[in-house]
């Protein structure tokens, strides 16, 4: 018992195992197997999920959609963020527009994206980008904006040109914000792409979630969703680690 006290990680693990046990019991004895599947069966069934024809390819396609959407979000976000952030006037003019768009519930225009881009991967990527650019733009603008004026003054006092000031002062200063933006952007892209997939999909993972739902196959459905959740965790964690690594000089 003392060990649990010293290691909250262990206690957490015990808690999770306890909850899994409850789920196991409920699924086995209390609920109709058409609606809920116990974890033991889900884990055993993961292999069959993979063997279902089309699933590995669908996972690959979804992963590709995420990668492309993220890359595009970063590229566009960086460009737009710098364009807006580097001048006080463009900040004052365009940030309100950006924030207004950022605040709208994009899920309402999901059918519109499908209408414009079709039911293939293009619409998933587009929707993902539409979600991902905003946090990146906002954090980059903030990163450029909150540079301490004294740093700019001291660069100017040493005779730095505008390009030099940007390359050696503003850009390095902005990098931690950039990585923070990428972390938020990854979460947003995940949301966008997965939402679009769940809505309509012919080749991606959404096809199979619909299939397993309509055929009342909770075992394979939960297996598939767990895989997607695991993928989301890995992606989020990767970007988070990158942020920690590159943001080291920021004591905050």
Instruction: Let me know: does 69 contact 128? Beta carbons within 8 Å.
Output: yes
Contact 140, 85 (CB under 8 A): yes
The CB-of-231 to another protein minimum distance in angstroms stands at 10
23 contacts another protein (rule: CB under 8 A): no
Q: Show Cβ contacts of residue 249 under 8 Å, excluding neighbours closer than 6 positions.
A: 176
**Residue 210 interacts with another protein (CB under 8 A): yes or no:** yes
Token pair for 218 = 């909770």
Count Cβ atoms within 10 A of the Cβ of residue 147 and give its class: 0-12 exposed, 13-18 middle, 19 or more buried. middle
Residue 27's CB is within 10 A of a number of other CB atoms, namely 22
Measured CA to CA, the distance from residue 245 to residue 249 in angstroms comes to 9
Q: Give least dist CB 139 to another protein, A.
A: 18
Of 93 and 164, which CB lies nearer to another protein in the complex structure?
93
Q: Is 73 in the site for another protein (CB under 8 A)?
A: no
Among 81, 136, 199, 223, binds another protein (CB under 8 A): 199
Stretch that binds another protein, among 133-141, 145-153, 154-162, 231-239 (CB under 8 A): 231-239
Helices 110-117 & 171-199 angle (0-180, nearest 10): 80
Backbone angles phi, psi at 4, to 5 degrees: -60, -35
Residue 178 interacts with another protein (CB under 8 A): yes or no? no
- The piece of 5-13, 51-59, 62-70, 73-81 that touches another protein (CB under 8 A) is 5-13
CB burial of 90-105 (b: ≥16 within 10 Å; e: otherwise) equals: ebeebbeebeeebeee
* Selected binder of another protein within 21, 112, 151, 153 (CB under 8 A): 112
Contact between 133 and another protein by CB under 8 A: the answer reads no
Residues lying near another protein in the complex (CB under 8 A) are found at 5, 8, 11-12, 15-16, 35-36, 88-89, 92-94, 96-97, 103-105, 107-112, 114-116, 187, 190-191, 194-195, 198-199, 209-210, 212-213, 216, 218, 221-222, 225, 228-229, 232-233, 236
């Amino acid at each position: 018992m003392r060990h649990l006290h010293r290691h909250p990680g262990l206690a957490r693990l015990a808690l999770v195992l306890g909850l899994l046990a409850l789920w196991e019991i409920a699924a086995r004895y209390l609920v109709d197997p058409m609606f809920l599947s116990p974890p033991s069966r889900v884990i055993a069934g993961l292999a069959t999920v993979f063997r279902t024809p089309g699933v590995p390819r669908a996972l690959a396609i979804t992963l590709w959609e995420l990668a492309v959407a993220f890359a595009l979000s970063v590229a566009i976000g960086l460009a737009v963020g710098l364009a807006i952030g580097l001048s006080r006037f463009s900040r004052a003019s365009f940030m309100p527009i950006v924030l207004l768009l950022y605040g709208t519930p994009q899920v309402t225009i999901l059918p519109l994206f499908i209408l414009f881009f079709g039911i293939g991967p293009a619409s998933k990527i587009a929707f993902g980008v539409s979600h991902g650019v905003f946090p990146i733009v906002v954090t980059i603008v903030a990163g450029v904006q909150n540079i301490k004026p004294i740093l700019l003054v001291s660069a100017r006092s040493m005779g730095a040109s505008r390009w030099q000031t940007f390359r050696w002062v503003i850009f390095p200063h902005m990098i931690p914000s950039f990585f923070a933006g990428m972390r938020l952007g990854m979460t947003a892209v995940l949301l966008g792409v997965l939402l679009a997939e769940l809505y309509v999909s012919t080749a991606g993972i959404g096809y199979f979630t619909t299939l397993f739902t309509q055929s009342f196959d909770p075992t394979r459905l939960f297996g598939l969703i767990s895989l997607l959740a695991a993928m989301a965790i890995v992606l989020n964690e990767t970007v988070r680690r990158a942020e920690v690594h590159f943001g080291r000089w920021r004591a905050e």
